[in-house]
Amino acid sequence: MHATASRRAFAKYATLSFNTDMTLELFVCSTYYFIVQAVTATRNGAWHGRSAENSGREGEAVRTQVGIIGAGPAGLFLAHLLHRSGVDCVVLENRSREYVESRVRAGVLERTTVQLMHEIGIGDRVVREGLVHAGTTLAVNGEPFHVDFGELLDGAAVTVYGQSEVMKDLHVSADRLGIPIHYEAQNVTPHDLDGERPKITWRSQKGVHSLECDFIAGCDGFHGVSRASIPADAIKVFERTYPFGWLGILAEVPPCNHELIYANHEHGFALASMRSPTRSRYYLQCSLDDKIEDWSDEAIWQELAVRIGDSFAPKITRGPSFEKSIAPLRSFVCSPLRYGRLFLAGDAAHIVPPTGAKGLNLAAADVIVLAKALAAFYASGSTREIDGYSARALDRIWKAERFSWWLTHLTHRFPHMDGFDRQMQVAELEYLRQSRAAQSVFAENYVGLPLNA
């Protein structure tokens, strides 16, 4: 029998039988019995993670070790990391694969995220097609200045590579590895989170299904069902909403600069970003009352030119937008990231305003910690690492929340702002322009704090 299969079967059998009342001694003494049973079970085909095609017939209870709700970046990075550690999982996603792949969102990957892509075997395309940016430009009242991450931080850089490309890479790899993902799963509902045998039910065209698991990972984004399943008195929520949104467009035109431009202008914030040397992504701070129909392409190009300023405005190539959306901005953290056997990760647990480009990267960092903790549990039976997941992840989350909140305040126009507030913004940006120390702090946070921070 293959060693990995044996380990998996043992781990599964062990978790089925391990409960908090049981002493570790009893757990160890029972090992021999478990292995014998596990070998038999594996030979019989029981407890194997089943593929999306052959699992989940109506009424059939499927069993796995970790049930993952949500096939966004958090859910699929986690599934890959668990798979690599020999831990079985099944992913349930309420949207179609095409929808998840076409959602236009993040664009900037931290080093840790790119490294994670390499570790799980999807690093080739991001290296070929991703754009490595060793710096960024900030502008205040149309006057730009450059922050050189590479020079300040010993070669540090971020990679511009769209979230939709990350999702395509994850999907292709999940297919290849046989990671079971059920798309268009309706009415996904976690049950018995505070007991020993949590389960998830969902509905497909075939009927109602049930997934029994040892643990559930809630990776279903801000509006998902996981956090909403936790009793209100079991978690604390910290939140700031912002009195504006971001209007974003994609256009098949070359970017106006080889790196991003974050612009603070009296009219409000603007960001020049990109997806490739021929595709631009631009954002404008807008009112929460604005509708997409209020903003013609012409009005957007006009306002971008004003806010980005004279140095770069002549380099903006205008063209028809093929995607246009308005997103509200929010800072949000829920604590702790665990309730019983449910663990929250990614946007299900926290939201940052997109100013610092941290959301997807935080989701990746969370599941690196969570996957390691779950793998440690299955390898040793010790709950030490899973018990520490929430505190360890929150430590880094709060630092990214702080940076995103700070950069949002530094670069946006708030309705209550008076002349004094405006001068404070300008003074801080001028300080950033002139101070190497201030630039180092900015660069260190922007390229991403180390995972053990």
Work out whether 265 is an interface residue with ligand RFL (CB under 6 A): no
For this structure, is 190 an active site residue?
no
CA-nearest of 266, 52, 302, 247 to 141 is 266
CA-nearest of 378, 407, 392 to 349 is 392
Residue 188 binds: one of ligand RFL, ligand PHB, none (C-beta under 5 to 8 A by kind): ligand RFL
Which one is catalytic: 171, 182, 350, 358? 358
* Residues near ligand RFL (CB under 6 A), total: 36
User: What string marks each residue from 99 to 138 as x (binds ligand RFL by CB under 6 A) or -?
Assistant: -x----xxxx------------------------------
Which one is catalytic: 83, 183, 354, 412? 354
Number of CB atoms found within 10 A of residue 426's CB: 14
For this structure, is 168 an active site residue?
no
For this structure, is 446 an active site residue?
yes
Work out whether 94 is an interface residue with ligand PHB (CB under 6 A): no
* Residues near ligand PHB (CB under 6 A), total: 10
CB of 76 to ligand RFL, least distance (A): 8
For this structure, is 133 an active site residue?
yes
DSSP states of 241-303: EEEEEEEEEEESS--SSSS-EEEEETTEEEEEEEEETTEEEEEEEE-TT--GGG--HHHHHHH
For this structure, is 262 an active site residue?
yes
Rounded to an integer, what distance in angstroms lies between the CA atom of residue 370 and that of residue 386? 7
Residue 111 binds: one of ligand RFL, ligand PHB, none (C-beta under 5 to 8 A by kind): none
Give the burial class of 69: count Cβ atoms within 10 A of its Cβ; 0-12 exposed, 13-18 middle, 19 or more buried.
buried
Nearer to ligand RFL, 30 or 115 (CB): 115
Joined tokens for residue 450: 């180390």
Out of 107, 130, 221, 245, the residue judged to bind ligand PHB by CB under 6 A:
107
Which one is catalytic: 83, 133, 350, 412? 133
Q: Is 44 helix (H, G, I), strand (E, B) or coil?
A: coil
Q: Please, what is the end-to-end C-alpha distance for the chain in angstroms?
A: 41
Rounded to an integer, what distance in angstroms lies between the CA atom of residue 369 and that of residue 385? 9
Out of 357, 360, 362, 374, the residue judged to bind ligand PHB by CB under 6 A:
357
Rounded to an integer, what distance in angstroms lies between the CA atom of residue 180 and that of residue 54? 10
- On whether the CB atoms of residues 224 and 251 are closer than 8 A, the answer is no
Work out whether 74 is an interface residue with ligand RFL (CB under 6 A): yes
Binding site for ligand PHB (CB under 6 A): 106-108, 260, 271, 273, 281, 354-355, 357
Binding site for ligand RFL (CB under 6 A): 69-75, 92-95, 100, 105-108, 163, 185, 188, 219-221, 224-225, 246, 248, 327, 346-347, 354, 357-361, 363
